[in-house]
Chain A
Amino acid sequence: MSELKVNKISPRSGTDVTLGDSGDTFTLPTGVTLDASNATTTLPATVVTTTGSQTLTNKSIDASQLTGTITPSDNTVSLAKLTATGTKDATTFLRGDNTFAEAGGGAYEKLVTTNITSGSVASVEFNSTYITSAYRDYRIVCSSIAISANDELQLKISDDNGSSYKSTNNYAYGTRGFKSSNSPTNKQSTGNSYFVIVPNTFKGGSSDKTGSFIIDIFDPLNTTTFFTASWRGTIWDSGDAIIGFYGGGTFNTNASSAFNAFKLDTYSSNLTIGAYTLYGRKI
Chain B
Amino acid sequence: MPRYKLVNGEQIQFTAEEEAQKDAQELEWSNSAFDRAIADLRYERNNLLAETDYLALSDNTMSAEMTTYRQQLRDLTNGLTTVEDVNNVVYPTKPNE
Contacts and interface: CB of A to CB of B under 8 A. Distances in A.
B35 interface: no
Interface in B8-37: 8-9, 11, 14, 22, 25-26, 28-30, 36
Given A121-B11, A183-B47, A184-B47, A267 B5 contact: no
Contact of A200 (B6, B30, B40): B40
A121 B4 contact: yes
6 contacts: A113-B9, A130-B8, A183-B44, A265-B5, A267-B25, A267-B28
B3 interface: yes
A129 B6 CA distance: 13
Given A125-B7, A183-B44, A265-B5, 12 more contacts: A112-B8, A112-B9, A116-B6, A121-B6, A121-B11, A122-B3, A125-B8, A127-B8, A130-B8, A185-B43, A201-B36, A268-B25
A213 to B, nearest CB: 18
Contacts of A125: 5-8
Contact of A268 (B26, B40, B47): B26
A130 B29 CA distance: 32
Contacts of B9: 112-115
A114 B29 contact: no
Contact of B26 (A112, A185, A267): A267
Contact of A126 (B3, B8, B30): B8
A191 B8 CA distance: 28
Contact of B6 (A114, A183, A201, A268): A114
Contacts of A126: 7-8
A129 B8 contact: yes
A113 B22 CA distance: 25
Contacts of B11: 121
Give the dominant DSSP class at B's interface. helix
Nearest to A261: B7
Interface residues of B, number: 21
Nearest to A200: B40
Contacts of B25: 267-268
B47 A267 contact: no
Q: Which of B5, B25, B28, B43 has the most CB of A within 10 A?
A: B5
B4 A127 contact: no
Nearest to B47: A183
A219 interface: no
A270 B11 CA distance: 14
A151 B29 contact: yes
A251 B97 CA distance: 45
Interface in A213-240: none
B5 A123 contact: yes
B9 to A, nearest CB: 4
Contacts of A205: none
Nearest to A119: B4
Nearest to B9: A114
A124 interface: yes
B87 to A, nearest CB: 9
Nearest to B11: A121
Which A-B residue pairs are the 10 nearest by beta carbons? A268-B26, A268-B29, A267-B29, A123-B5, A114-B9, A122-B3, A125-B7, A121-B4, A124-B6, A183-B47
A151 B33 CA distance: 10
Given A114-B9, A162-B7, A122 B22 contact: yes
A236 to B, nearest CB: 15
